[in-house]
Each structure stands twice: as C-alpha cells, then as structure tokens.
Amino acid sequence: MTKQIRQLDRVVIRFAGDSGDGMQLTGDRFTSETAQLGNDISTLPNFPAEIRAPAGTLPGVSSFQVHFADYDILTPGDAPNVLVAMNPAALKANLTDLPRGADIIVNTDEFTKRNLAKVGYQTNPLEDDSLAGYVVHPVALTSMTIGALATHEVSKKDAERAKNMFALGLLSWMYSRPYESTLRFLERKFAARPELVAANVAAFKAGWNFGETTEDFAVRYEVKPAKMQPGTYRNITGNMALSLGLVAAGVRSGLPVFLGAYPITPASDILHELSKHKRFGVLTMQAEDEIAAVGAALGASYGGALGVTTTSGPGVALKSETISLAVALELPLVIVDVQRAGPSTGMPTKTEQADLNMALYGRHGEAPVAVIAPKSPADCFHAALEAARIALTYRTPVILLSDNYVANGSEPWLLPDVESLPDLRVEFATQANGEDGTTFLPYLRDPETLARPWAIPGTPGLEHRIGGLEKADKTGDISYDPANHDFMVRTRAARIETIPVPDVEVEDPDGDARVLVLGWGSTYGPIGAACRGLRQRGHSIAQAHLRHLAPMPANLGEVLRAYDRVVIPEMNLGQLAHVIRAKYLVDAIGYNQVRGLPFTANELETTLEEVLKNV
C-alpha cells in the first residue's frame, strides 16, 4: 500500500504512561534518532518523585515531550501534536494539554473497567464520543507486542515490557526517523541477555511494520534538517553539559577537580557522570550528608584542587555555613544548585526558580558570593566554565543556579574547539611576599582582582593560619579589631562587586520597543519564543537575559531605564523583580507562576500582549 508523505516544519510528541512503561527511555531514543537527522530539538521529561507510584493512577504518570523542527526552536513546545497514551491515566493526565485535532495513539489493551475506574472514568472515553475532537488511533500495543514475540524465549512479563519499543517503532516510522542507533543501543543495554536484545529489536520492528501496513496511518511525515552552524553536534542534557563543563574546567586550569556530593534529585546525575572521568583528574566522593560533601569540597580547594559540590535547594540550606566559611577563607568553590520545587522536600522532580534569594543572601553575616545561571541545557557547559573561572580568579565561592527544567531537558550542542575555551591556569603562591622577603602575607591582595594568594599546604615558608575567625588584613592573624573587621567585610564585598562581567545584550530588532522582557535562567526559551511570536504579529518588544546575577552587568541600570515598562517572568513569586526594584528603582512588573512546570510560550505571549496594549 502506497502511503502519502507530508512535509512538516515542526512536531511536538508526548509519550505518556506508567513509571514502569519506559516512557523516559522511549522519549530519549526518539530524541536521539531525531538528533541524527539534524533537526533542532528541545525536550521536557516529566516524571513522579516516587520510585514506583501505584500502577494505573494519575500520580504515577510519567511523560516525555520532544519538540523537533526544521528551524531554530527555543522550547519543548506548548501543546503536543501527538500523544501516545499507554493507559487511561496517561490519557486523562495529558488530555487537557492537547489542542483540538491532535493525534492520540492509545494502548487499547489497558482500557479495562478496573483501569478506567482507577482514574475516575465512568465510561470508556474510546467509546463515548468524548474524544470526538481528536484523531484517535486505537492500537492494541500490549497484545500485539506479545504476539510479535510469541516465538522468542522470553517471559510474558518481559514481552509486555517491550511494548514501549513497539510504540517507538511505530512513531519512528510515522516521522521517518532512522533506527540503526536504537538497535545498537538495545544491543548494548541488554548485552548480558541476548534473548532480550532479540525481543526488543523484534518489538521495535513490529511497530515499524505495523505503521507501514495498517490502514489507520495513511500518512507518513517528514521534518527536514534545521539550518545550523556547521560543526559536530550531540544531543545533550543540562546535567551532562554541566558535568562536561566541570571536566573542561579541570583540564583548562591544570587542576584536579574534586566533587563532594550527596545524592539528591535532580542533581545526582552530575555525580554519576563525573565519576566516569577519573582519567581527566576528576575525583568524586559520595559523602554521608550534604554538610560533609561541601566540607570535603572546600578542603580540596584548600589543598589546591578545584572544589565542587552539587545539590538542590534543601542541600544548599545545609551547606550555607560552610559556604560562609569559604567566604571567610577566600578560597575557590563551585556550588551547583539544580533548583526544584520547594519549600522543604517540596516536589523533587518538578522545576522552580525559587532559590535566587538563598543564593544571593542565604548566609549569616555579610557573605557575598558570585551567582551565575545557565539559560539552556547546552549553555550549562559554558556556565560551568564561567563559574570555575570566577572562582579560581577571584578566590570566591560561586553558586551556579541550574534547575530541573534545564538539567533534564536536552537540545543539540555544538562541540566547541578546545583551544577556544578560556585559559584557567592558576599561579599558586610559592615564595614569601612580605616586604622583608621572608614573611608570607596570606591576605595581601592582587590590586586588580582583590584575590589573596592561594598557597598549597606544606609549601615551605608559607605557613599561615586558616579558619573562620576574622583575619587581620595582610597578615591573616586572628583579629577582633572593629576597624579591621569593617575593612575586611567591605573588601570581600568589593571583590564580588568589581568582578568584570559581560554587558547585558538586548534583542530589540526594530529599535523602538517600549517594553523590555527581562529573564534569568531557564525562562530564556519561553520568553524568546513569546517575543518571537509577538514580533511576527507586528508588535515591537525587546528581550534581555541575565546570566550573571551577582554581580550584575554594569550596563543593566541604563538598559532598564531605556524602556517604559520592564516585565520579569519568573518561576517564583518575584525574587529577581524585588532585587531589580531595590537596586535600580525600576518598577518592574512581575509575572509569576510556581506550578512545578516551565512557562509556555503561549501564556507569556498573551500576558505580554496585554502589557503592550497598556503602554
């Protein structure tokens, strides 16, 4: 049967099912196949915090959304064009996100009376016309997979588990994805059990062949590669990019990298990844708790390494005393905070931007640190390098504020030329620096950076005091002198405030916009997509984005005062907006949501359009 092939410029697909249905794996493999074709990609994994929530229930639904296109895209998409629902719970949890006319592929085998009752369906939605506004494709995924594997030497349970590969094969056929890499992946994943390799490959091919032969899917789709800067790309998540950035920082500085970490969602993947890179001088330690982790990292910095600790919001609270100690010691330390929904344990697998106040102010005493936030998964690589550069150059703790959306989302990453990466080499103190030629002054500062010397313990003649008690200027002796304390507090603050950071850039194509949208961190994509949509409809609007939150760019005040209105969308209750109002006396308008989900471009576009009407 000859099937029609239709060209599309973009598609949003969401795979949804139970936590045990393999939706994250399915989405990841589809994304990898799509990356090989050269499409631009943005993904949004969404899964419950429980290791295994009750099967067939709404709290147990796990989903993976992938947006791919033949042009540059900025978000995982607002509304799926296709929903693959493995059970009634997956359908009900995601149906409200679908636009009318969307395709729904449902696993009919799971629409039993028991499963329908679990999620409150009184009647079967596949039979009561409640889905009349959608294009529904009923597919008996489970039974067809079991049938396809009838001759394979696997248990019924293992055969049922392969239904996600059947679904992946079907979607790969529908959207003309290559599949060779998936077959190689299955060979590696189940290398110890050849029968599972054969079964999963067979399930995948059965799904592909079903799409080819069934009359229910009369159209096959193609999305051409995007026009991208020439080079070698790989699909990368934020946590992976951040990990590689820290490895690169170690190589470019010539220092060993020490990671002290305690496992916590959603930062644990950084520990997992860095543990693989011992050959690059990376040493990882899984500590017994958050305090031990940061203490070990600071100790490593004292010993001449690049000390790093990774965590999420609850862990930053526990680490705050040691971060204050690092401020007093004036040693480099990188603290990675992959933000999640709080307070307390909150919603561990959901995203939020609510740790900004804690990063800026969450320590006792006057303890300023540098704060950086990556804007996208790929940007995590460069943000990690920048955090290491500031920490090493200015002898200061640096907090890197990622979040769950950036950490687990993915996009194409252009592999950089290693020689183009910044030179982070450090000169350790090796000899006395006092006027008499024999004395070492541990707090004698570099006049440009205000950084003190970094002396590795055990260096002959460079013995000096260490600890959290206030130090005397230059000598480092313990001091309770009021004037000295005032001087040291102001000097530590000046060291942060005078760090040169790039000016904030403004995207204002027409040059006559009266409204500026200011963002930070992961809001970059939704804000950019919303502004792009408004401009396409004839509106003039400007966008600026902050990577450096402490210190802020020197030109930021001038930029803010150049516009009649400043709007700051944040996944918190207005933390950056409060800082902007206090620091620059600009009456910024906050747009705030704390739902555990990223903004959609459509909601921002609607909100910004209302602001434009009232300027």
State yes or no: pLDDT of 472 exceeds 80: yes
Structure confidence at residue 3 as a pLDDT band (50, 70, 90): confident
Which of the four pLDDT bands, split at 50, 70 and 90, describes residue 602? very high
Structure tokens at 208: 């592909």
Q: Give the CA dihedral 80, 82, 88, 90, nearest 10 degrees.
A: -40
Q: What is the DSSP letter of 478?
A: B
Dig out the tokens for 168 from the structure.
């992946």
> Would you state the structure tokens that stand for residue 610, as one six-digit string?
């209302």
pLDDT (0 to 100) of residue 517: 98
Q: How far apart are CA 107 and CA 214, in angstroms?
A: 16
Containing 94, the helix (H) or strand (E) segment is helix 88-94
* Strand order, beta sheet including 40-46: 40-46, 61-69, 10-18, 82-85, 103-107, 135-139
pLDDT digit string (tens) for 482-495? 999 999 999 999 99
pLDDT band at 568 (very low <50, low <70, confident <90, very high): very high
Cis peptide before 422 (omega within 30 of 0): no
The token pair at 50 is 């429980």
Query: Could you tell me the pTM of the whole model?
Result: 0.95
Q: Sign (positive/negative) of CA torsion 364, 365, 370, 373?
A: positive
- Which percentage of the chain shows pLDDT scores above 90? 96
Q: Is 3 helix (H, G, I), strand (E, B) or coil?
A: coil
* Dist CA 150 CA 311 (whole Å): 46
Question: Is the pLDDT score of 52 beyond 80?
Answer: no
Q: Which two tokens stand for residue 389?
A: 């550069």
3-state SS string for 498-535 = CCCCCCCCEECCCCCCCEEEEEEHHHHHHHHHHHHHHH
The stretch 206-216 carries a mean pLDDT of: 94
Q: Give me the DSSP letters along 125-159.
A: TTTSSTTTTSEEEEE-HHHHHHHHTTTSS--HHHH
Helical (H) or strand (E) element with 305: none
Can you tell me the distance from the alpha carbon of 155 to that of 223, in angstroms, rounded to the nearest whole number? 38
- Distance of alpha carbon 562 from alpha carbon 278, whole angstroms: 50
Residue 551: cis peptide before it, omega within 30 degrees of 0: yes
Per residue in 63-116, pLDDT (tens digit) is 999 999 999 999 999 999 999 999 999 999 999 999 999 999 999 999 999 999
Q: Tell me which residue of 466, 338, 328 sits closest to 395, measured CA to CA.
A: 328
Which of helix, strand or coil describes residue 202? Answer: helix
Q: Is residue 383 scored above 80 in pLDDT?
A: yes
Q: How many residues does the chain have?
A: 615
Closest by CA to 81, choosing from 15, 172, 127, is 15
The one-letter code for the residue type at 463 is: E
Closest CA to 37 of 235, 196, 208, 203: 235
